[in-house]
Amino acid sequence: MCGIIGYTGPRKTAKILLEGLRRLEYRGYDSAGIAVGRENAEPRLEIIKSVGKIAELAKKMPEDIDGSWGIGHTRWATHGGVTEANAHPHTDMSGKIVVVHNGIIENHKTLRTMLGKKGVVFKSETDTEVIPHLIASYYEGDLLKAVLAALQHLEGTYGIACIHANEPGRIVGARNGSPLIVGVGNDEMFLASDITAMVAYTNRVIYLNDGEVVDITRDSYTITDRHSNMLDKQVDEITWELGAIEKSGFMHYMEKEIFEQPDSIARAMSGRIDEENATAKLGGLNLSRRQLADVHRVRIIAAGTSWHAGMTGSYLLEQAARIPAQAELASELRYRNPVVENDSLWFVVSQSGETADSLYAMREVQRKGATVLGICNVVGSTIARESDGGVYVHSGPEIAVASTKAFTSQLTAFYLFTLLMARMRDMSREEGQKFTRSLLAVPEMVRDALAQRDHIQAIAKKYCRAKDFLYLGRGILYPIALEGALKLKEISYIHAEGYSAGEMKHGPIALISPEVPSVFLVSDDYLHEKTISNIREIKARGGPIIAVGVEGDTEAMALADDFIAVPKADPRFYPFSMVVPLQLFAYFCALELGRDVDQPRNLAKSVTVE
């Protein structure tokens, strides 16, 4: 959460900072600000802040603002309300030291008290403001030394960028639990919390690890640990281009990303299917066939949408590979003193690879001896680096706050892993070939679902004024019901709950009325009749029914008030084709209601705080 951008070089700094913040806005959009340094006879810093989105900050920017170095920040509020005083950047009392910060300083109250006794007067309610004052207390002409001294007192998570008016062109950054990336340009340098902020200018980046500090000028950088020990870091090259983070003619990023799914799913499986042997190839697992054969249970750590992908994966692993599997909420697991069995394999799933709850839970089970594999989208992310192996899903940049294509790419990773494990166990070659053909057909299945765009939009228009929705599925479609309800909540602000359809009669049926639509996911497998029975229970009580079902299911079509058909397939693969109509339904409901689809209220893309 929150976004940082820093720049030093010959270009117009204010323009680069503002452009970077626009690209980072999905990380938080409660307030924003920049600090720009001017190099002249008396160097000074000009600070501009505003409440609201980056567009509000742009309105306040003077036409003549210029400078050769600076830092910027877009905020998702944690400590202190959404006010201009609480917006970043924050300064020391002299106004010469300026800091932007992502994360939470857990001992900020203690530090406030200590600094207050030394005469420091605070201007904000934030935890961040202790940082520039602390740096000022150690400053003796060298910003790096002052930052290193201040870091010894900070407890919690942080990604920090700091500048000083008296040290033109210099930016000092530090990372502990919140992402920070150095961008290496030609006679210019960047510092950001996300590659998207600087990809227009450089494709050469350095990923900082926790406990690392970077000191950059326009033509150089040095990286140390918190004890001033020099570090030699690898420079990586970004393979995707600026066009990947543009809207490309779509109205919203979310719409674009929904429609990118046939391609993103294909990328996730590209080169990973061995058709001849009807199995999968996942070299990044870093596990031998013998080690995989010794796995007798799988545990999956995730949060939000990624948890729903993990739940789907757990159903699939048990059904197809006959391996006991369970998806765990990261925020609960970390504090539960989890039991780590010797024969278990753990996965941690995160689009960004920076999700704080998932990262901390991963570290906890690793301390207990677990082997943990990551399923991530962002190359070089913390989870990708700290896990013992894993799978990049290659869905490409996902800008909309509500995840869509990353979800189906995560599903793809679980389907590949299931195929690999199943073929090592009881799945025959013939069954493996059938599974493989079904997996390869998924992109086309998704295209067919997307072709119902106009039909789904009409249904959304019909129901978008409802105040409550129920989403119901059984078996492997239960997690998809949860995901559909989450999408509707996230971007339309309509209250929606996902349930196992079999649990309806155990309480939620009390909510049924003509004003509460129920969205049913209807497979054509062994649970079909049970699901139809659940639909009848809702119909008997006057509840409107929207059904997402299989083409030719005349029984479901007759019962439903509105029916969305998906192509007939192996029932294990319906999560792909049935989640897409739910994504579109949420999108069109939000559109009809005039919501901010890409940046819904109170949310941020990468949840890097607890």
pLDDT digits (tens, 9 = 90+) for 269-304: 999 999 999 999 998 999 999 999 999 999 999 999
Q: What does the chain come to in residues?
A: 610
Report how far residue 509's alpha carbon sits from residue 339's, in angstroms, rounded to the nearest whole number.
Answer: 36
Instruction: Identify the active-site residue in 2, 162, 376, 589.
Output: 2
Separation CA 610–CA 357 (nearest Å): 6
Q: Are strands 273-274 and 90-91 parallel, antiparallel or unpaired?
A: unpaired
pLDDT at res. 44: 79
pLDDT value for 609: 61
Q: What is the pLDDT of residue 196?
A: 86
What would the two tokens of residue 455 be?
A: 């039909």
Maximum mean pLDDT: which of 49-63, 73-87, 142-156: 142-156
Tell me which residue of 246, 218, 187 sits closest to 397, measured CA to CA: 246
Which residue type, as a one-letter code, is found at position 287?
A: L
Catalytic residue selected from 49, 405, 489, 605: 605
Q: Which of 51-55, 326-330, 496-500 shows the lowest per-residue confidence on average (mean pLDDT)?
A: 51-55
Residue that wins the pLDDT comparison between 241 and 225: 225
Task: In whole angstroms, give the CA distance from residue 559 to residue 343.
Answer: 47
- The percent of residues above 70 in pLDDT, for the chain, comes to 97
Q: Phi and psi of 325, rounded to 5°?
A: -145, 150
CATH fold label, 3-238: Glutamine Phosphoribosylpyrophosphate, subunit 1, domain 1 (3.60.20)
Which pairs count as long-range contacts for 129-134, CB under 8 Å and 24+ apart, including other chains? 129/90, 130/105, 131/90, 131/99, 131/101, 131/105, 131/158, 131/160, 131/162, 132/90, 132/91, 132/92, 132/97, 132/98, 132/99, 132/162, 133/92, 133/93
Per-residue model confidence (pLDDT) at position 25: 80
Banded model confidence at residue 181, pLDDT cuts 50, 70, 90: very high
Is pLDDT at 39 greater than 80 in this prediction? no
Helix segments in 260-329, DSSP class H: 261-269, 289-293, 305-316
More confident call, 42 vs 316: 316
Residue 456 has pLDDT above 60, yes or no: yes
Lowest mean pLDDT among 388-402, 467-481, 553-567: 388-402
Tokens 């995560």: give the residue. Answer: 410
> In this structure, what token pair is assigned to residue 144?
């790096």
**Entry pTM:** 0.84
Q: What average pLDDT does the segment 364-379 reach? A: 94
- Look at residue 605 and tell me whether its pLDDT is greater than 80: no
- The domain made up of 247-440 has a fold known as Rossmann fold (3.40.50)
What 3-state DSSP class applies to 489? helix
Our answer to whether residue 2 is catalytic in this structure is yes
With vertex at residue 47, the alpha carbon angle to CA 46 and CA 50, rounded to the nearest 5 degrees, is 150
Nearest to 570 by CA among 445, 413, 398, 394: 445
What average pLDDT score do residues 397-414 get?
95
Question: How deeply is 131 buried, as exposed, middle or buried, from its count of CB atoms within 10 A (0-12, 13-18, 19+)?
Answer: buried
pLDDT of residue 544 exceeding 60, the answer is yes
Tell me what pLDDT residue 1 has.
63
pLDDT on residue 69: 94
Q: Is 162 an active-site residue? A: no
Locus of tokens 């890097």: 608
- Is-contact 544 510, C-beta < 8 A? no
Q: Please name the residues in contact with 546: beta carbons below 8 A apart, sequence gap of 6 or more.
A: 459, 463, 517, 518, 519, 520, 560, 561, 562, 563, 564, 585
pLDDT mean across residues, the chain: 93
CA distance 7 to 13: 7
pLDDT of residue 313: 98
pLDDT at 147 over 60: yes
The first and second tokens of residue 189, run together, are 């340098």
Distance CA 409, CA 267 (A): 8
**Pick from 221, 209, 223: nearest CA to 180:** 209
Structure tokens at 450: 């997307």
Q: Which CATH class is domain 445-602?
A: alpha beta
Separation CA 225–CA 144 (nearest Å) = 12
Residue range 61-83: mean pLDDT, rounded = 86
What confidence tier does 84 reach under pLDDT thresholds 50, 70, 90?
confident
Confidence of residue 24 (pLDDT cuts 50, 70, 90): confident
What lies within 8 Å, CB to CB, of 20 at 6+ separation is 3, 5, 7, 72, 190, 192, 197, 198
Q: C-alpha 28: how far from its chain's center?
A: 12
Average pLDDT rounded to a whole number, residues 40-46: 75
Spatial CB neighbours of 175, under 8 Å, sequence gap ≥ 6: 158, 159, 160, 208, 209, 210, 211, 212, 213
